[in-house]
Structure 1
Amino acid sequence: MDQEKVNILLVDDQPAKLLAYEVILKDLGENLVIASSGREALEVLLKTEIAVILVDVCMPELDGFELAAMIREHPRFQKTAMIFISAIQVSDIDRLRGYEMGAVDYVPVPVVPEVLRAKIKVFAELYRKTRELERLNHELEDRVRARTAELEASTAKLRESEQRRSMAIAAGKMGSWDWDWISGDWMWDEGQYNIFGVSPENFEVNPANVQALLHPDDVDQLRKAIAEFNKGTRAYETEFRILRPDGEVRWCVGTAAATTDESGRVVRVSGVTVDITERKRAEERQNLLAREVDHRAKNALALAQSIVRLTRADEVKAYVNAVEGRINALARVHTILSLSSWQGAELSRLIDEELAPYSLGDQIKLAGPEVQLLPATAQTLALALHELFTNSAKYGALSTRAGRLAIDWQVDEELLTLSWEESGGPLVKTPKSRGFGTRSLLASIESQLGGQAQFDWRAEGLLCRLEVPLTRKTAAAAPSKFDTAGAAELQRASG
């Protein structure tokens, strides 16, 4: 069954940016609502139920912070998810102010489409799941009230309730039971037997047998319920787990109501059991997804932030080209990792992606086995390869048709060794100082991955050798001569 669409409010005073957000979020299949100002957004909110608000921080009249404050003052929108988009560097104070206003996250410009879609999707699903849980909770409360009323109502109402209960039994998700408090006799309906995975033919309903089917950690819930009824409690509700005879664990929610005699003594307890296993599993999957998306988004944003902060150039155009090149390299490896569900990336695929913009034909030769890289290793190595290709295309073998480049790699005991050999290009001279690209490559390979990078500036062409651990264990244990020197080098580059 198709899930119900939710409304996502996009707030920005620039039509071009609104159009870009619509294009990015179109594939989510949700309803996109547009507002070109803070006041227009407030009007939309008063008329429409909104799941997520994507708002620009910098707007005339009402900026993003002021709009967030006004939204949070309204009781209906105190829990509505708001994501800020900022085209300027956001300070910790601004970020803290945003969170105080109710923002759940920040998205910097330029926007990474995959990251923005992932964030919006998570909060849209959380909104949809919250509404579904509220609906289920209302249904459960209604059923408890209906069940209690049925015990005191006429035969006609009891018959109507039985028809509704039969429909639930057919779905195998609900059962009812009755316990004679005086004689100790139990009565289970078909749905109750189905939930516990037993049958009337081979299972005798009594306290000992029922307790044997409860999860050991939840047995105290039964004892607590009995104690509460002995103290005069008339209704009780709790969640618990059962261990079916076949070993399967199921989550249930149980509600019970007591019937008393004229003296107030409990004479009978009746209840309803609802199997909520699928709901619990859905919640676990959703929580896992939210944590995973948050982790990956933070990693990608941290890399992008480092690229922007550390890139240096003599003029604006060169700076923009350098940043765009590195961000595009990060985006390409992100796409590769997404296609593998973030299980890893093939080294040859990373190299092919970096080669694609050049169309150099037979100038480049590749040789090496298939190597699967961990996500973190793939991201870092992709940026390192990007620096090598960029420098070669500007100054090295790839800057002329006569130039040649040979890339080969091999793996020995979980250590990847990659050789980069240029020839036939312009005469090479050993640089007097390392450029930013070389420094960042050294930092990423040696400091982040625990590997080593060696450069031989031969007259006939650059020879570079990279050694990269392929496992987390190896990477963590590998000695790194760059741990302190490399970090200082990058600090000088950024300064």
Structure 2
Amino acid sequence: MDHEKVNILLVDDQPAKLLAYEVILKDLGENLVIASSGREALEVLLKTEIAVILVDVCMPELDGFELAAMIREHPRFQKTAMIFISAIQVSDIDRLRGYEMGAVDYVPVPVVPEVLRAKIKVFAELYRKTRELERLNHELEDRVRARTAELESSTAKLRESEQRRSMAIAAGKMGSWDWDWISGDWMWDEGQYRIFGVGPEGFEVNPANVQALLHPDDVDQLRKAIAEFNKGTRAYETEFRIVRPDGEVRWCVGTAAATVDESGRVVRVSGVTVDITERKRAEERQNLLAREVDHRAKNALALAQSIVRLTRADEVKAYVNAVEGRINALARVHTILSLSSWQGAELSRLIDEELAPYSLGDQIRLAGPEVQLLPATAQTLALALHELFTNSAKYGALSTRSGRLAIDWQVENELLTLNWEESGGPLVMTPKSRGFGTRSLLASIESQLGGQAQFDWRAEGLLCRLEVPLTRKMATTTPGKFDTAGSAELQRASG
């Protein structure tokens, strides 16, 4: 290899998974260091320079989140890249928790070798380049110090030139300028012209033209800076906006320093300008994300509160099981929505998630097109399906091996119609009262979504039809033999 190898720490309590990671990453040509527990990983970090840490979220004694928190507390590892591997679907809250602990990425199980190699390669290369940059910076600092020592005997003009050059370098060469306080002459470098969106061939640098490019609300910043230097201030820094000739508004931060003569009078002001527009936009996106997370968390807590408050049961165990089942259904749909960045969820995916705990084989038949649901619709429909599956598994067709369930759906004029047909199970009788399941199903489908939940209590099995508008418009249906007014749970409501 033509580059210096870096150390990659693999942390997992399962030897088989560690071996798999080694096989996947060996072609990168880096040094792979193994740790079978969080405590062993900490010991390795104290003895070895690590570029990237690949850590399993779920480990005994010390899990991935706790390990990440302990690593971040050590000053040496404040910027060490950590990638979490999770064999379970994590929620938005868990993702944010991981990022707060210092994770730079998540890798779900099963691991895709090409994806894992690519992620590790990026952070290993970033670490290598960072170290190289640090070495170059040290060399540059040594050279600057040596050069400064040589120039101490030079003329004042050479010292001023060196000062301007050093400031431009310190600012990342984004843009530098110089203003002769006595003659009024200005000097801009290429970066300064680029930031302001003008060119030296068509723009004359003078106070009037510069002021014309400042945002009207920030013009006073220039006047304030001049006043401060007249009062004896030697350095000034501020954020301001500019309006380019094409109308684009950019955010900048400007730093200026004054040079004085022997009498203390200002003779020159030099400075640098850095475009911070992307940083400002990132801050706005972060604030928006925080508000969105807060909104979704409040909605989820409100649903959970309703579940806990309205659930009824004759004994504690039944109550706990009912509440856990409904909250788990809510968690499953949240996982599906998080994978789509809360853009929506497929109806078939919701049904598959509710089917997963039962392993009923050929007892269930599904038929219908792919339907993309809005987030709010997906949450409501997931809870409704959970109630239907739970009651069927307890008292209906899915409670016996001879029972059968057919689910089909279609969409017409933005109206989703889902038919639920049970057969071959215990004899069905129309229930006399409604439990939480039916009440929540009717309220959510009819009140929240503007649809209908219709039941036909046939002796051979329940027939249910859910009509859900895919937009906010109220569904219009013609009642047939279905009983919407007397809908209730199966024979013995689960509470």
Q: TM-score of the superposition, structure 1-length normalised?
A: 0.62
Q: What residue is the counterpart of 1:36 in the other structure?
A: 36
Give the C-alpha shift of residue 352 in structure 1: 1.3
Q: Is the 8 A contact 1:309 1:494 kept in 2?
A: no
Distance (whole Å) between structure 2 residues aligned to residue 229 and residue 280 of structure 1: 28
Distance (whole Å) between structure 2 residues aligned to residue 464 and residue 473 of structure 1: 22
Give the C-alpha shift of residue 390 in structure 1: 0.6
Q: Is the 8 A contact 1:451 1:478 kept in 2?
A: no
Q: 1:172 to 1:9 in 2, by over 3 A?
A: closer
Give the C-alpha shift of residue 344 in structure 1: 0.7
Distance (whole Å) between structure 2 residues aligned to residue 353 and residue 138 of structure 1: 56
CA offsets per residue over residues 254-276 of structure 1, 9 Å max, x none?
12234556787654332222222
1:59 maps to 2:59: yes
Distance (whole Å) between structure 1 residues aligned to residue 114 and residue 292 of structure 2: 14
CA offsets per residue over residues 169-217 of structure 1, 9 Å max, x none?
5985532212223432101233323433444344321223323433344
Distance (whole Å) between structure 1 residues aligned to residue 458 and residue 177 of structure 2: 85
Comparing 203-212 with 68-77, greater Cα deviation is found at 68-77
CA offsets per residue over residues 224-283 of structure 1, 9 Å max, x none?
433444566554321012344566543211122345567876543322222223432332
Give the C-alpha shift of residue 453 in structure 1: 1.9
Distance (whole Å) between structure 1 residues aligned to residue 422 and residue 361 of structure 2: 15
Q: Is the 8 A contact 1:57 1:63 kept in 2?
A: yes
1:19 maps to 2:19: yes
CA offsets per residue over residues 79-110 of structure 1, 9 Å max, x none?
99999999999999999999999999999999
Q: Is the 8 A contact 1:126 1:286 kept in 2?
A: no
Q: 1:57 to 1:142 in 2, by over 3 A?
A: same
Comparing 55-64 with 396-405, greater Cα deviation is found at 55-64
Unmatched runs of 5 consecutive residues or more in structure 2: none
Q: 1:416 to 1:288 in 2, by over 3 A?
A: same
Q: 1:87 to 1:251 in 2, by over 3 A?
A: closer
Secondary structure of the residue aligned to 1:89 is coil
Comparing 303-312 with 264-273, greater Cα deviation is found at 264-273
Q: 1:269 to 1:155 in 2, by over 3 A?
A: same
Secondary structure of the residue aligned to 1:482 is coil
Comparing 265-274 with 419-428, greater Cα deviation is found at 265-274
Q: 1:355 to 1:92 in 2, by over 3 A?
A: closer
Comparing 414-423 with 240-249, greater Cα deviation is found at 240-249
Q: What residue is the counterpart of 2:388 in the other structure?
A: 388
Q: Is the 8 A contact 1:450 1:478 kept in 2?
A: no
Distance (whole Å) between structure 1 residues aligned to residue 325 and residue 36 of structure 2: 32
Q: 1:490 to 1:414 in 2, by over 3 A?
A: same
Comparing 244-253 with 344-353, greater Cα deviation is found at 244-253
Distance (whole Å) between structure 2 residues aligned to residue 169 and residue 324 of structure 1: 60
Q: 1:490 to 1:433 in 2, by over 3 A?
A: closer
Q: 1:412 to 1:83 in 2, by over 3 A?
A: same
Secondary structure of the residue aligned to 2:264 is coil
Distance (whole Å) between structure 2 residues aligned to residue 148 and residue 479 of structure 1: 90
Q: Is the 8 A contact 1:211 1:219 kept in 2?
A: yes
Give the C-alpha shift of residue 165 in structure 1: 4.3
Distance (whole Å) between structure 2 residues aligned to residue 115 and residue 309 of structure 1: 45
Give the C-alpha shift of residue 141 in structure 1: 18
Give the C-alpha shift of residue 386 in structure 1: 0.2
Q: Is the 8 A contact 2:456 2:482 kept in 1?
A: no
Comparing 276-285 with 420-429, greater Cα deviation is found at 276-285
Give the C-alpha shift of residue 389 in structure 1: 0.6
Give the C-alpha shift of residue 222 in structure 1: 2.5
Q: 1:487 to 1:256 in 2, by over 3 A?
A: farther
Give the C-alpha shift of residue 450 in structure 1: 3.2
Comparing 451-460 with 108-117, greater Cα deviation is found at 108-117
Q: Is the 8 A contact 1:447 1:483 kept in 2?
A: no
Give the C-alpha shift of residue 313 in structure 1: 1.8
Q: What residue is the counterpart of 2:174 in the other structure?
A: 174
CA offsets per residue over residues 10-32 of structure 1, 9 Å max, x none?
99999999999999999999999
CA offsets per residue over residues 381-415 of structure 1, 9 Å max, x none?
10110000111111112222332222222333333
Q: What residue is the counterpart of 2:428 in the other structure?
A: 428
CA offsets per residue over residues 34-58 of structure 1, 9 Å max, x none?
9999999999999999999999999
Comparing 97-106 with 370-379, greater Cα deviation is found at 97-106
Distance (whole Å) between structure 1 residues aligned to residue 128 and residue 492 of structure 2: 49
Secondary structure of the residue aligned to 1:492 is coil
Secondary structure of the residue aligned to 1:417 is strand
CA offsets per residue over residues 293-336 of structure 1, 9 Å max, x none?
23223322332333233322222322222222212211211111
Comparing 88-97 with 396-405, greater Cα deviation is found at 88-97
Q: 1:97 to 1:460 in 2, by over 3 A?
A: closer
Unmatched runs of 5 consecutive residues or more in structure 1: none
Q: What residue is the counterpart of 1:3 in the other structure?
A: 3
Distance (whole Å) between structure 1 residues aligned to residue 194 and residue 146 of structure 2: 22
Comparing 293-302 with 368-377, greater Cα deviation is found at 293-302
Greater CA radius of gyration, 1 or 2? 2
Q: Is the 8 A contact 2:450 2:472 kept in 1?
A: no
Comparing 321-330 with 298-307, greater Cα deviation is found at 298-307
Distance (whole Å) between structure 2 residues aligned to residue 2 and residue 297 of structure 1: 49
Comparing 261-270 with 284-293, greater Cα deviation is found at 261-270
Q: Is the 8 A contact 2:469 2:475 kept in 1?
A: yes
Comparing 359-368 with 476-485, greater Cα deviation is found at 476-485
Q: 1:40 to 1:117 in 2, by over 3 A?
A: same
Distance (whole Å) between structure 2 residues aligned to residue 398 and residue 355 of structure 1: 11
Distance (whole Å) between structure 1 residues aligned to residue 145 and residue 131 of structure 2: 21
Q: Is the 8 A contact 1:85 1:106 kept in 2?
A: yes
Q: 1:467 to 1:272 in 2, by over 3 A?
A: same
CA offsets per residue over residues 443-481 of structure 1, 9 Å max, x none?
222333333322222222222222223235769999999
Q: What residue is the counterpart of 1:184 in the other structure?
A: 184
Q: Is the 8 A contact 1:446 1:480 kept in 2?
A: no
Distance (whole Å) between structure 1 residues aligned to residue 276 and residue 114 of structure 2: 33
Distance (whole Å) between structure 2 residues aligned to residue 479 and residue 271 of structure 1: 77
Q: Is the 8 A contact 1:251 1:276 kept in 2?
A: yes
Q: Is the 8 A contact 1:72 1:101 kept in 2?
A: yes
Distance (whole Å) between structure 2 residues aligned to residue 295 and residue 153 of structure 1: 64
Q: Is the 8 A contact 1:256 1:271 kept in 2?
A: yes
Secondary structure of the residue aligned to 2:476 is helix
Secondary structure of the residue aligned to 1:483 is coil
Secondary structure of the residue aligned to 1:474 is coil
Q: 1:450 to 1:13 in 2, by over 3 A?
A: farther
Q: Is the 8 A contact 1:456 1:464 kept in 2?
A: yes
Give the C-alpha shift of residue 353 in structure 1: 1.1
Distance (whole Å) between structure 2 residues aligned to residue 292 and residue 367 of structure 1: 35
